[in-house]
Structure 1
Amino acid sequence: MDSSDEEINHENEGVMMNQKRKRDRKQKGSKKQVEIPVSESEEEEEEDLIDRIEEEEEDRDEEEEDTDEEEEDTDEDHEEDEDGDEEEEEEEEEEEEEADVAFSTLGLSQPTMNAIRDIGFANMTQVQARAIPQLLKRKNVLGIAGTGSGKTLALLIPAVELLYKKKFSSHNGTGVVVICPTRELAMQTHAAAKDLLKYHTQTLGLVMDGAARRGEAERLVKGVNLLIATPGRLLDHLQNTKGFIYKNLKCLIVDEADRMLEENFEEQMKQIIKLLPKEKIKKIKNGQKITILVRTTALFSATQTTKVEDIAHLLFKSIPVYVNVGDGRSESTVEGLQLGYCIVPSARRFILLYSFLKRNLSKKVMVFFSSCCSVKYHLELLRHLHVDCFDIHGKQNQQKRTSTFSDFCEAEKGILLCTDVAARGLDIPAVDWIVQYDPPDEPKEFIHRVGRTAHGENANGNALLFLIPEELQFLQFLKAAKVPLKEYAFDEKKLTKVQSQLEGVVAKNYYLNMSAKEAYRSYILAYNSHSMKEIFNVHKLDLQAVATSFCFSGPPKINLAPDSSKSKFRKKSCKN
């Protein structure tokens, strides 16, 4: 080969390398090597996972700058596209300006402004800027907003102002009812309302399933102006608590309506609406029939489904103001999140989880499991490994769940093992990592789970999804749902080598062994009841590998019926 051929080849190689770099910069979901150390000595040498993600962010920013420079070189050839981009930028600027509107512009009462100041907020989020003015005007509002959007204050501020302006006192009874689907969301909403009412004289109450009913009834009879409730307990008090005054109700708020329907509260909601004062009444004045607005209604949901529309038709007698903070967004998840997944052989799942948690003991981490049995077992197993954890699941009593929730919220660091009972509505501050150890039932559940991190403006968080090789098709559905994910790799050699020791512990410890069997069984039953059976096919599971992940040397002998119906499986398995 002569020198001219060599020069041409070098030039071609250079062009190809430049093209490859450009493709790599544009490619989403690129694979990153995430190294998890095995021992303490390696921890000093190895790079922290958080540091690596921060470096990836810096690399991505540099790549975006390079891309911007390339786009500047081609501006003259794309004038029409540039005009379109300018319009999009203007829309984005308008949204940013809307989100920067100060609470002081709303004309709120001084007690409410003092409370907002104490909470530490100056400007409104998008949903607050859009919903609060409408609710202050006593308009009905139908809102679509996810967790972390600021919708709780968007609902409560107008409610508090309404009670203040109407001069409600205890003898007037209940003026505003806020219905929440879960006890945890009800407690969080109650805490937020308590902060807002700090400088007001109006009374606040909480009624929910699992709490002492007699004490609730006594407080209702004395007079609760702002009532936070779960559907079942509210219906109980409406039907059975004598002296509960709700005839003066001025506003009904339904939060997380989609979750309400998922929890099968639809029939209870219909009964509640029938018992509460009507939205409008007709009267004859000066010989003419006139319609008087008695109460306003606000309904918020993270998603808009047919069932949500049905409940909206039931709630609203007039067309509500529609508020959708998702307008103009290109992605479904919260901004500020770093979303990733790792492909891990089924047998190595727990070892990777343990190695990851051991590395992040100084962080705040939530780990999601598919059943309460799995939560209980992994809690016990991790404690054997000297990794302390919190746990929340549906089999716990109310007092336990309340105290755990409070302790984890107040902790500067900690690991919370949970089922989807904690996936929505709980505003747990400063969660660094969401680990989805067991995949969610569908993409929207993934979004609900990761909503626990990156709350508020300029917040950052990380989410990690565990997938076995057979589940990779799930990524296509996440992509279709506009959930951007990148792959994290891990070094097998650097995982903690404790598998044989753990199998020995589980084999010898009777109670841990029984717990492991229940968790193993529940995992398979939950897998069989998965809604996306074409991906999560129980018949394709390697039961030996699954058993290894639960620290068995071989599949335990348990009662399984893989061909049973979904409903039967759900009854048998440990529920969330």
Structure 2
Amino acid sequence: MDSSSNINKALTETRFSDLEPPLSDDIIEVLERSGFEFCTPVQAATIPKLCSRKDVAVDAATGSGKTLAFLLPLVEILRISTSYPPKSHQVMGVIISPTRELSTQIYNVAQPFVSTLPNVNSVLLVGGRGKVEADMETIEKKGGNLLIGTPGRLLDIMERMEILNFRDLEILMLDEADRLLGTEFQKQVNDILSRLPKQRRTGLFSATQTEGVEELAKAGLRNPVRVVVRAESKSESSQQLTNSKTPSGLHLEYLECEADKKSSQLVDLLIENKNKKLMVFFMTRASVDYWKLVLSQIPTLKSMSLIRIHGKMKQNARDRALSSFSEASSGVLLCTDIAARGLDIPGIDCIVQYDPPKDPDDFIHRVGRTARLGRQGRAIVFLLPKEEDYVEFMDQREVPLQERKCSENASDVIPIMRSAAMKDRAVLEKGLKAFVSFVRAYKEHKCFDIFRWRELEIGKLGMGYGLLYLPSMSEVRQHRLSTEGFTPVEGVNFEDIKFKDKSREKQRQQKLEKARKEKQQKEKSEKGKKSSEMVVDACATTESYKVSRKRKLSGKQRARNRKLTGKQRQSIQKAEDEEEMAREYRLERKRRKGLIKEEDEPDA
């Protein structure tokens, strides 16, 4: 595999119009209209190779312009294809990315360039925007020559629509290839690849190439070129220029503090940047929901716009959140790693990682949402004292971190958070859920030798979450995690805390009433069952007495029989036999006359 390596500046001195093989005039015109004249390093290194019909595996810093690096060659390859112009259901190109938001962004960026190709129709295929049948109907009516989407929806379409013809596919692009080839999407991507012709151009793009990507490059790419673009980073301690996987304009910091101080430090940081645009990353969806709710209760943050986004939200809500945050000049986006990859949101000043990501590769993607295309930006990751080895670990991965001191002026917000939980059950319940979800996600951290969940100080962590009491968790009970530092709230019946939302409180009261009735019914049923059992026991005692009495009478009868002479016993037996014969004779006569059926006869 060939190798090409560059040191990233904001832009190179290479113009798009100077690239060889040359880009078409239509493409150059669209670029000039959009304000693009000079290439970024990854664009200058990648576009000529793809246009020269070479497969590429691109490893470049986030925010370096990878989207245009694969879109422009893709459009040019389709333009000069022997099958151009294609038939309506002839698929010429496929672009796959791991998230709906990223696929949508790629689709929108592609439209001005694809529009320079007459009779070529591009289709966005992602879930959450409607049923798959709607996409199928669109393709049937308008065709689909370029498919852009997520693995799940794309594979679904391929399996359902035999009308699509992939035999003349020219090019396949995998954006965020490391994630696409990870365990989450590996099966779907492999199924897609098995349906595509091997004679094609393939591009793999990511900021963090993995062994999986390497294996695919060896197995599926022909004469591949490896393009590695590293950013230039200056160490404050040595003032030496070093290679980094993060953008050159990004200043990376870590803030080390105890778990019960994190929330106060976060609020202080948000106040400090109240007129700026920030993204705050959490490890779980429940954490995003909780911190959105509880931070809105902090008086000093009332004027700030707090927006949340995570994968459990409906797609329309996710779209609105991204659109609102993108258009805002300031505010905070509280998010999970669904917003970590590829999204190009303008004007982000600072990235805050309240929880370090479970996968260290996602660290690079998270911080890459700022300092894009040569701009300046800042990123801060919160670490507990026992997690300090993470700094050296990231330094070995070419991601140097500088220490940031805790603010001594940060106000204690825990009393405010607890007061909010006392006034609104939603805060109480979401806090408990977020706490539990964080602990269980922490257990799954890939850097388990640094993030040791058995050493979590649950007490301090619970205080940092503003909990009124610690939830009963198996992790706490069985492994005896430290609850030191937690001060439970005394003299409060937590069941009396109501939802501020009256409709939710009404629903809760209805559920409680239903539960009370079911409990009463169960107790009544159990009481009736117990009474029945007592009656049965009494009956059983009575029957036992009768049987015992009968046995006694039989014993007396046998005693009397023993006193009879042999002649007397014969007379008694003869009388019984004659009576039996007479009874059978009467039955036989009735049977012959049809007065009784055999099944009506009494048992002998």
CA deviation vs aligned residue, 1:114-165 (integer Å, no higher than 9, x gap): 2111221111111111111111122222222232111110100011122233
Query: Which residue in 1 is equivalent to 2:430?
Result: 515
Give the match's secondary structure for 2:243.
coil
For residues 465 and 184 of structure 2, what CA distance do their matches in structure 1 show?
32
Letter in 2 for 1:526: A
For residues 325 and 276 of structure 1, what CA distance do their matches in structure 2 show?
29
Could you tell me which runs of 5 or more consecutive residues in structure 1 were left unpaired when the two chains were aligned: 1-90, 280-294, 565-576
Cα distance, 1:331–1:240 mapped onto 2, change above 3 Å: same
For residues 556 and 327 of structure 1, what CA distance do their matches in structure 2 show?
45
- State yes or no: 1:185 paired with 2:185: no
Letter in 2 for 1:216: D
For residues 468 and 95 of structure 1, what CA distance do their matches in structure 2 show?
33
Query: Which residue in 2 is equivalent to 1:480?
Result: 396
Cα distance, 1:461–1:563 mapped onto 2, change above 3 Å: farther
Give the match's secondary structure for 1:384.
coil
Query: Which residue in 2 is equivalent to 1:282?
Result: none
Cα distance, 1:303–1:500 mapped onto 2, change above 3 Å: closer
Query: Which residue in 2 is equivalent to 1:528?
Result: 443
**Mean alpha-carbon deviation: is it higher for 197-206 or for 214-223?**
197-206
CA contact (8 A) 1:339 1:486 kept: yes
For residues 339 and 327 of structure 1, what CA distance do their matches in structure 2 show?
13
Letter in 2 for 1:486: Q
Letter in 1 for 2:145: N
Query: Which residue in 1 is equivalent to 2:356?
Result: 439
Q: Identify the structure with bigger relative contact order (alpha carbons < 8 Å, sequence gap 6+).
A: 1
CA deviation vs aligned residue, 1:26-76 (integer Å, no higher than 9, x gap): xxxxxxxxxxxxxxxxxxxxxxxxxxxxxxxxxxxxxxxxxxxxxxxxxxx
Give the match's secondary structure for 1:531.
coil
1:217 positional shift? 1.2
* Structure 2 counterparts to residues 75-114 of structure 1, below 5 A: 99-106=12-19, 107-114=22-29
User: Which of 186, 204, 219 is residue 138 of structure 2 equivalent to?
Assistant: 219
Give the match's secondary structure for 1:262.
coil
CA contact (8 A) 1:450 1:463 kept: yes
For residues 9 and 391 of structure 2, what CA distance do their matches in structure 1 show?
31
- State yes or no: 1:231 paired with 2:136: no
Query: Which residue in 2 is equivalent to 1:146?
Result: 61
Query: Which residue in 2 is equivalent to 1:195?
Result: 112
CA contact (8 A) 2:305 2:330 kept: no
Cα distance, 1:263–1:114 mapped onto 2, change above 3 Å: farther
TM-score of the superposed pair, with normalisation by structure 2? 0.71
User: Which of 498, 501, 524 is residue 413 of structure 2 equivalent to?
Assistant: 498
Letter in 1 for 2:306: C
Give the match's secondary structure for 1:168.
coil
CA contact (8 A) 1:207 1:228 kept: yes
CA contact (8 A) 1:156 1:193 kept: yes
For residues 269 and 498 of structure 1, what CA distance do their matches in structure 2 show?
46
Query: Which residue in 2 is equivalent to 1:461?
Result: 377
1:322 positional shift? 2.0
Letter in 1 for 2:309: I
CA contact (8 A) 2:306 2:331 kept: yes
Query: Which residue in 1 is equivalent to 2:267?
Result: 354
- State yes or no: 1:550 paired with 2:477: no
Cα distance, 1:263–1:423 mapped onto 2, change above 3 Å: farther
- State yes or no: 1:176 paired with 2:176: no
For residues 191 and 107 of structure 2, what CA distance do their matches in structure 1 show?
23
* Aligned residue-pair number: 455
* Structure 2 counterparts to residues 144-543 of structure 1, below 5 A: 144-166=59-81, 167-169=84-86, 171=88, 173-201=90-118, 202-212=120-130, 213-221=132-140, 222-262=142-182, 264-279=184-199, 295-316=200-221, 318-326=222-230, 330-385=243-298, 386=302, 387-457=304-374, 459-492=375-408, 494-543=409-458
1:367 positional shift? 0.4
* Structure 2 counterparts to residues 48-67 of structure 1, below 5 A: none
Give the match's secondary structure for 1:346.
coil
Cα distance, 1:348–1:200 mapped onto 2, change above 3 Å: same
Cα distance, 1:545–1:382 mapped onto 2, change above 3 Å: same
Letter in 1 for 2:399: V
For residues 87 and 288 of structure 2, what CA distance do their matches in structure 1 show?
43
CA contact (8 A) 2:246 2:364 kept: yes
CA deviation vs aligned residue, 1:357-406 (integer Å, no higher than 9, x gap): 12212111000101000000000112222243111112112222122122
For residues 456 and 559 of structure 1, what CA distance do their matches in structure 2 show?
47
CA contact (8 A) 1:530 1:536 kept: yes
CA contact (8 A) 1:538 1:562 kept: no
Cα distance, 1:561–1:499 mapped onto 2, change above 3 Å: closer
Cα distance, 1:563–1:133 mapped onto 2, change above 3 Å: farther
CA contact (8 A) 2:268 2:407 kept: no
**Mean alpha-carbon deviation: is it higher for 334-343 or for 438-447?**
438-447
Letter in 1 for 2:31: I
Cα distance, 1:271–1:502 mapped onto 2, change above 3 Å: closer
For residues 247 and 235 of structure 1, what CA distance do their matches in structure 2 show?
16
Q: Percent identity?
A: 37
Cα distance, 1:254–1:563 mapped onto 2, change above 3 Å: farther
CA contact (8 A) 1:525 1:562 kept: no
For residues 8 and 392 of structure 2, what CA distance do their matches in structure 1 show?
30
Cα distance, 1:302–1:562 mapped onto 2, change above 3 Å: farther
Give the match's secondary structure for 2:147.
strand
CA contact (8 A) 1:207 1:234 kept: yes
For residues 474 and 327 of structure 1, what CA distance do their matches in structure 2 show?
21
CA contact (8 A) 1:347 1:547 kept: yes
Cα distance, 1:551–1:456 mapped onto 2, change above 3 Å: same
Give the match's secondary structure for 2:129.
coil
CA deviation vs aligned residue, 1:428-453 (integer Å, no higher than 9, x gap): 22210000101123543221211111
For residues 562 and 264 of structure 1, what CA distance do their matches in structure 2 show?
32
**Mean alpha-carbon deviation: is it higher for 483-492 or for 468-477?**
483-492
For residues 431 and 148 of structure 1, what CA distance do their matches in structure 2 show?
12
CA deviation vs aligned residue, 1:216-273 (integer Å, no higher than 9, x gap): 1122222122221211111111111242233331111111110112352212222111
CA contact (8 A) 1:251 1:297 kept: yes
TM-score of the superposed pair, with normalisation by structure 1? 0.75
Cα distance, 1:346–1:96 mapped onto 2, change above 3 Å: closer
Give the match's secondary structure for 1:484.
coil
Letter in 2 for 1:384: Q
Higher Rg: 2
For residues 147 and 96 of structure 1, what CA distance do their matches in structure 2 show?
13
Give the match's secondary structure for 1:232.
helix
For residues 245 and 215 of structure 1, what CA distance do their matches in structure 2 show?
19
Letter in 1 for 2:420: V
CA contact (8 A) 2:231 2:246 kept: no
For residues 459 and 139 of structure 2, what CA distance do their matches in structure 1 show?
56
CA contact (8 A) 1:112 1:197 kept: no
Give the match's secondary structure for 1:333.
coil
Letter in 1 for 2:449: E
Cα distance, 1:130–1:179 mapped onto 2, change above 3 Å: same
Query: Which residue in 2 is equivalent to 1:9?
Result: none
Give the match's secondary structure for 2:88.
helix
Give the root-mean-square deviation of aligned CA atoms.
Answer: 2.3
